[in-house]
Structure 1
Amino acid sequence: MLEQQVAYLLLGSNMGDRDSNLGTAIALINKEIGNVFAVSSVYETAPWGKTDQPGFLNQALGLTTNLPPLQLLQAMLGIEEQMGRVRLEKWGQRLIDIDLIFFGEDTIIDDAQLSLPHPEMHKRRFVLEPLNEIAADYIHPVFKEKVSSILTNLSDELTVQKL
């Protein structure tokens, strides 16, 4: 068992009762993974990558957990499965998506199972807007830049609106 580590996650949903899906995911994460200590506002986001689908609701979470990164990822995937997520196509519609964005102070992992920090997070407004709300001063371990600074310099024009 690892000592308590801070992790930041991003939730997304664009099927069914999107608000309820986010709430259910937060409750399950709090129960099964660790203590959720920060929850961003909910953001309405245009679809990214595959644009012929409904818009997403996104929300960032901060939590403390005893799980090491790979076990945390497995637990997150288990919650997605419990909630009925079916993976049919890359970037397709989903009841719930739970992404691990950051883990610990300076964890960097790049292997077949897990990449940390999330390899695309610095390019995506739908990740950075909610994350900035709860972790503006978190320093990206690769870029050595605060989340707030990455967001300020972002070129992504995707529509992301705080609800």
Structure 2
Amino acid sequence: MTQTLFVLNGPNLNMLGQREPGIYGSLTLKDIENLCHSKASELGISVDFRQTNHEGQLVDWIQEAGLTAKGLVINPAAYTHTSVALQDAIRAVGLPVIEVHLSNIHARESFRHTSFVSPVALAVLCGLGANGYPMAIEALANHLDQGDA
């Protein structure tokens, strides 16, 4: 059976391509989704790619991933810095998680330097733009192949 990874995206990422391209780049979320599916296909796995502007929906999807997926790549966007609920959901499902950010959150405003997701993540990729997503998928697939899950 093919391994499935969830790739979850938080608020305002649906605005990529038009929202502050100097920070977030010119690719759209659909472009990033295509990059993720391409990398997954190359690795022989599948990706369930989703975006929402609602914190509770992300929590529901994390819980769903705990039942149906082998791992999770998440860009919680602004919820990175505010959501204990996301941390609790990730901790509860026990899946390996890689946190991704398009920009380097540590080179931005000080409130962005704190992540509630990082303490429960296997790894964090930030500042690599859209390339961080396929890198995270490959790293997670390698982690799972090595039996480290």
TM-score range, shorter chain: 0.3 to 0.5
Query: Comparing both structures, which one devotes a greater share of its residues to helix?
Result: 2
Give the structure with higher Rg (CA): 1
TM-score relative to the length of structure 2:
0.34
